[in-house]
Amino acid sequence: MERQTREAQVQEVMEQVRAGNVRWVRLATTDLIGVMRAKLVPAERLSTVLAKGHPWGVRLLHVDLAEELDPDTEYDALTHLGNCRMLPDPETFRILPWQQDTAIVLAEPVYDDGSPAVSTRAGLRTVLARAHAAGYRIRAGSEIEFHLYHREGAALQPVTDYRAFFSARALAGAEAILAPLREALAALHLPLYSIENEHGAGQFELNLGPLEGLHAADAAALARAAVKEVAERHGYLATFIARPDNKRETNTCGYHLHQALYTHDGTNAGHDGEDPDGISTSLRRYIGGQLAHARALVACGSPTVSGYKRHQPGTFAPARISWGFDNRGSLLRVMRERGLDTRVENRLGEAAANPYMLLASHVAAGLDGLVAGRDPMPPIAHDGNADPALGSLPHDLPEAVAALRGDDVLCELLGPDLVRAYSGALMSTWRRYQSFVTDWEIAEYREVL
């Protein structure tokens, strides 16, 4: 049945190619850090690629953004010098609205024997299968903040000033870029819920409505890639770096992930009308699992050096381990909606987080809470980030990676090979950062010392 279903999907894709006069197809995958990588293949080869995949260097799946490999990751069966095959998922096929002779399809790496190579998308698929076997389906929605700059020669100018928080004036002033952005996202059939200007100069938030499991992460990955490409085509820079500069009017950018538990019959497993707070024991234990593994989750939500600059007073980025009801001062925020919309928002991630790794790690931690019966600490109603009695989160990349590598349960659920490759890429980045002299250091020391 699965083979027939895939064959039907492939046939539908090829019909879209013919009807849309598509000439080229981007075969795309998200790397460990979260950047979308792609090869361009002729449309006449697509049916073969859909059936057999396309060659891709295995080593390139494990390097950092400078294409360097962590020295602790040896050239073995995991990272040899040969090829794997990138196998597309026909469900993700979309024609690019801004370049209609070109389409995109997301893919996962497999070896010649059909076994999966390491990838965060495959890792998420495995975690979701575990949740399904335990009786749960996961729906997720994404809130992703970013900055928009107009390119003026070599200079960058924020498209709004810092007084633009939910400002109709600022929205109107940025319409020249917001219009093509929202039209592109809609044409890609992404569940756009809203776009709003946020606290800082040039800062916006992209909200994607809930989708089930893998589709939610696919939507986030495609949306980020689309925002960057469309902005570039119109003379703008869109960036998801957590903090793009050191100016007072520049706010930090996060990735808040909403998650809802459902049973296989479509019932929201997080809702309990008999509970005084309206939430079930299942949701409490899902929360308890994420709290228990919170320190390890930080590396999965903040893969960059800059991501740890978010955790400052006044940024609403979590610095301590807590949960609460509609409380932005907590790590986990149970939203006020109940019934089918009962859900929890995890506020941990930076805007550049890999959507697959972020969701996979959250679901894995929550699933451990469900299986192990982890009841959470009492909820808080105050600003947990200012409460020294609460447990603290890692302050930098090495501390976060150490927490992830030291969490045996989370490593097993995510897959040891994935954790090894992912954390290796992060530490390779950190070693390069440690050898780089920053502008701050030069300004601070060069003249005086």
The CATH number covering residue 284 comes to 3.30.590.10
Nearest 5°: phi and psi at 381?
-120, 5
365 vs 162 pLDDT, higher one: 365
Q: Is residue 169 part of a domain?
A: yes
Out of 69, 89, 118, a domain closes at 118
Burial 147-165 (b: 16+ CB within 10 A, else e): bbbbeeeeebebbbebebe
| pLDDT of 208 higher than 90 | yes
**Which pLDDT belongs to residue 74?**
56
**Which pLDDT belongs to residue 78?**
61
**Which pLDDT belongs to residue 75?**
52
CATH code at 31? 3.10.20.70
Q: Is residue 243 part of a domain?
A: yes
| pLDDT of 353 higher than 70 | yes
Are 233 and 353 in the same domain? Answer: yes
pLDDT, tens digit, 9 for 90 and up, residues 21-79:
999 999 999 999 999 999 999 999 999 999 999 999 988 888 999 988 887 765 565 66
| pLDDT of 1 higher than 50 | no
Q: In whole numbers, what is the pLDDT of the chain averaged over residues? A: 94
**Which pLDDT belongs to residue 113?**
87
The burial of 8, by beta-carbon neighbours within 10 Å (0-12 exposed, 13-18 middle, 19 or more buried), is given as exposed
Per-residue confidence band for 279, with pLDDT thresholds at 50, 70 and 90 = very high
| pLDDT of 222 higher than 60 | yes
| pLDDT (mean) for 425-433 | 95
Q: Is residue 444 part of a domain?
A: no
Q: Do 418 and 31 meet the contact criterion of CB atoms below 8 Å apart?
A: no
Q: Is residue 71 part of a domain?
A: yes
| pLDDT of 12 higher than 50 | yes
Q: Which domain holds residue 54?
A: 2-118
Are 215 and 301 in the same domain? Answer: yes
Q: Is residue 448 part of a domain?
A: no
Q: Do 141 and 211 meet the contact criterion of CB atoms below 8 Å apart?
A: yes
**Which pLDDT belongs to residue 73?**
66
Are 106 and 143 in the same domain? Answer: no
Q: Is residue 449 part of a domain?
A: no
**Which pLDDT belongs to residue 69?**
85
**Which pLDDT belongs to residue 7?**
87
Are 113 and 139 in the same domain? Answer: no
Are 78 and 185 in the same domain? Answer: no
Are 113 and 133 in the same domain? Answer: no
- Amino acid letter, residue 41: V
Q: Do 105 and 92 meet the contact criterion of CB atoms below 8 Å apart?
A: yes
Q: Is residue 256 part of a domain?
A: yes
Out of 90, 118, 146, a domain closes at 118
Are 100 and 143 in the same domain? Answer: no
Global pTM reads 0.96
Are 312 and 428 in the same domain? Answer: yes
Are 297 and 150 in the same domain? Answer: yes
Neighbours of 9 (CB within 10 A): 16
Are 106 and 137 in the same domain? Answer: no
Beta bridge partners of 268: 262
Count: domains in the chain: 2
Are 95 and 137 in the same domain? Answer: no
| pLDDT of 154 higher than 90 | no
Are 250 and 373 in the same domain? Answer: yes
Per-residue confidence band for 4, with pLDDT thresholds at 50, 70 and 90 = low
pLDDT, tens digit, 9 for 90 and up, residues 95-137:
999 999 999 999 999 988 888 999 999 999 999 999 999 999 9
Out of 94, 118, 142, a domain closes at 118
Q: What percent of the chain has pLDDT over 70?
A: 97
